[in-house]
Structure 1
Amino acid sequence: MSLIKLTIKGISYSQTQSGAYALVLSEVDGTRTLPIIIGAFEAQSIAIALEKEIRPPRPLTHDLFKTFSDRFLIKIKQVVIHKLVDGVFFSSLICEREGIEEIIDTRTSDAIALAVRFNAPIYTYENILDKAGIYLKIEEESSIKEEVEPEEIEVEIEEKSTKKDYTRLSLKELHIKLNEAVATENYELAARLRDEIDRRS
């Protein structure tokens, strides 16, 4: 069965599960999306890896794994979401060291967090997209293409509570608050502040 390449479309607060987030993957050569429910820590880890401007003061678990792998010359070649059972996705890391390939079972959220750090492609199978994939509406797809530059990834992390209004703050104040949020490892707040700064640039 042939593999279908996926890309990360975004992250948003899950409306169905409290404290969880929806990681949305979309097929590269198609209109289907694959929403996967993940935990807050994994959502933050993926968002931080995507947002190059946000640097945590201490390495997160996935950053530590990347450093460890680099030190011992282990490369993640690709991630494959290979099974879906009772709403749970099962994934594998395809790793290589000194020409020897190994397949390691992993949670899908961890696999994606590592794929972003290793710049590894993400794949799934047709039957999984048939089961859990959602077709994008044509209007929605065109609006996404208009708003997002090619190869640019937009990450939105939203809290269930109402967002604070940062429009009254100056750019200098926003940058100060962004630095404070990163220092205290409040990455959800940092992402919102970063979005406000980007909107004004």
Structure 2
Amino acid sequence: MSLVKLSIKGISYSQTQNGAYALILNEVDGERKLPIVIGAFEAQSIAIALEKEIKPPRPLTHDLFKNFAERFDIVVKQVIIHKLVDGVFYSSLICERDKIEEIIDARTSDAIALALRFNAPIFTYKNILDKAGIYLKSNTAESDSGAQEIDDVLSNPETFGREEESNQSGDVYSKHSLQELNDLLDQAVSQEDYEKAAKIRDEISRR
């Protein structure tokens, strides 16, 4: 079976399952998307790894795993989403130490969070993408029609690609100066409120 390389498109909140998020993966050499529902903690960990400028004051679980692995010269070479059964994705970490390769079973959300931290590529098999991948009729997922197609697949998530702040929170942050926003960002990170920190970072990026 041939492997298909994937990249991370983003994360969106899923209304179909309370407290769950939809991780959207892109087919690198194609147009299909692979949506995977993940938990809030894993979504937060992936979002932090994607947002390079947000650094937690203490290591999260996936950061701890990376620090532990590096201390013992273990490298995550790649992640493979290798099975889909009853709507559940199964993944493996392909690790290497002293030129010896080991395969470790992992939840897909954990595997992707670690892949980001090790800069490891993510793959799935063609038959899995054929079964669970979706095509967008529009040219870009960010367009209204593209977002609607993702909404239909994921039973109307609030956003596509990344979680957007509500208009109310946007109005609140828009009233702050850039210095105040940076102070609020530091405070949110120190309190480990990374969801709030991401929203503040979005407002800073718009300035």
**Could you tell me the TM-score, scaled by structure 1's length?**
0.89
Q: Tell me the C-alpha RMSD between the 2 structures.
A: 1.8
Alignment-mate amino acid for residue 102 of structure 1:
E
> 2:22 touches 2:35 (CA, 8 Å); kept in 1?
yes
Q: Give the structure 1 partner of residue 129 of structure 2.
A: 129
Which segments of 5 or more consecutive residues in structure 2 lack a partner in the other structure? 144-159
Q: Distance in 2 between matches of 1:163 and 1:126?
A: 43
Q: Give the structure 2 partner of residue 100 of structure 1.
A: 100
> 1:157 touches 1:188 (CA, 8 Å); kept in 2?
no
Of 90-99 and 128-137, the range deviating more from structure 2: 128-137
Q: CA deviation at 1:81?
A: 0.1
Alignment partner of 1:185 out of 177, 184, 192:
192
Q: CA deviation at 1:131?
A: 1.4
What secondary structure is seen at the aligned counterpart in 1 of 2:184?
helix
What secondary structure is seen at the aligned counterpart in 2 of 1:62?
helix
C-alpha change, 1:167 and 1:67, in structure 2 (3 Å) is same
Equivalences for residues 1-201 of structure 1 within 5 A? 1-141=1-141, 156-158=162-164, 163-164=168-169, 165=171, 166-200=173-207
Q: CA deviation at 1:51?
A: 1.1
Q: Distance in 2 between matches of 1:7 and 1:87?
A: 20
What secondary structure is seen at the aligned counterpart in 2 of 1:73?
coil
> 1:158 touches 1:188 (CA, 8 Å); kept in 2?
no
Percent identity reads 73
C-alpha change, 1:163 and 1:117, in structure 2 (3 Å) is farther
Q: How many positions carry a matched residue from both structures?
A: 189
Alignment-mate amino acid for residue 88 of structure 1:
V
What secondary structure is seen at the aligned counterpart in 2 of 1:38?
strand
Q: CA deviation at 1:157?
A: 3.0
Q: Which runs of 4+ in 1 moved over 4 A?
A: none
What secondary structure is seen at the aligned counterpart in 1 of 2:139?
helix
C-alpha change, 1:83 and 1:134, in structure 2 (3 Å) is same
Q: CA deviation at 1:134?
A: 1.1
Which segments of 5 or more consecutive residues in structure 1 lack a partner in the other structure? 144-153
What secondary structure is seen at the aligned counterpart in 2 of 1:156?
coil
**Could you tell me the TM-score, scaled by structure 2's length?**
0.86
